[in-house]
Each structure stands twice: as structure tokens, then as C-alpha cells.
Amino acid sequence: MNEQDVDALVTKLVDLPQTFIRKLGISLDEELMKIDLEMVHIMILHMLLLSETNPMMSEVGKKLSISNAMMTHIIDEMEKKKLVERVRDGDDRRVVKLSVTKRGQEILKKAGEHHKSMAMKFLAGLSKNDQADFLKAIETIHNILSANKGAVNEKSH
């Protein structure tokens, strides 16, 4: 690929998340908007639910490339909304772990159901051929990302 093609590909890759949001009509439903839920809140809730143990706040921030100061601010907001709880380590009170509350689990489930519904509506508006092409493209992207091809080394940021 020449430099111009690479530049065009990078531009499309960077624009992809916003294009998904705009074209799929992904938004939060009214109830979720009332609690002022942001995408970072959903990402943190999702990460916490996928963790086998309560991760340290600093670990979550590192995985999402969020500074400790910003994580403190975000988690303060999430605690006020009763989405997460800070859990102090019994042996070392400096260690702060995060736990999803029941309300946080319910909110994440509702957001997931809403996003799935919006995606289903989008796909229903496509022709069968476009649906097949879209599925193939998504599967290709998923497979490439899952195989870690071209992964960026975290230390290179």
C-alpha cells in the first residue's frame, strides 16, 4: 500500500466509531439519558463485569488510557449515580478496587439491549446482499483485531 492509501485507510479507521454511531442511530434511550450516562461509563461498567475479580482502579484506567486523576473524577461521578463502588483492600488501604453495583449491572444490560435494538433496525433496512456484505466486513474486522495483527504496543504511546 502506498502512503496515500495508508493515509486514507487511517482516516476511515479513525472515523469508523463516529460513523457507526451516526449511521446505526446508536444513542441512549430516554431513561439512560436522564442519568447522564457517557460512553466512558459504559466502557468501565463493561470492563468491570468482564473481570473475574474486582480490578484496581489504576488498572482500569491504564487499560482505557485514562490518567489516575481523571479516573478518580469519573469514578466519583459513577459512585454518585450508584453504578460502581470503591472497595478498599483489607491488607492495604491504598489499594482501591472497583465493583459494579446491582444498578450498574441493570443500566449496562439496558444500554446493551437498546444498542442491539438500534443495530437490528439498521440491518433490517439493508438489502439481503448488503446485509451479507456488512456481516462479512464486520467478521473480517473482528478476526483481524482478535488475532492482534498490527497491535499497537502500549509502551509506544
Domain that holds residue 32: 18-150
Residue 38 within a domain: yes
Residue 153 has pLDDT above 60, yes or no: no
Residue 65 belongs to some domain of the structure: yes
Is residue 8 one of the residues assigned to a domain? no
| Residue among 79, 77, 46 at smallest CA distance from 63 | 46
How many domains does the chain contain in total? 1
Cell of 121: 433496525
Query: What CATH number does the domain containing 29 carry?
Result: 1.10.10.10
E strand intervals along the chain = 84-88, 96-100
Average pLDDT over residues 106-118: 86
Report the mean per-residue pLDDT for the chain. Answer: 85
> What does the alpha-carbon distance between residue 54 and residue 9 come to, in Å, rounded to a whole number?
38
Q: Determine, yes or no, domain membership for 130.
A: yes
147 in helix, strand or coil? Answer: coil
| Nearest CA among 41, 49, 66 for reference residue 100 | 49
Cell 443500566 -> residue = 107
* Cβ–Cβ under 8 Å, residues 56 and 48: no
Q: Indicate whether 1 belongs to any domain.
A: no
- Is the pLDDT score of 149 beyond 60? no
The pLDDT of residue 112 is above 90:
no
Tell me the C-alpha distance between 145 and 141, whole Å.
6
Here the cell at position 52 is: 473475574
Residue 3 lies in a domain: no
Would 157 be classed as within a structural domain? Answer: no
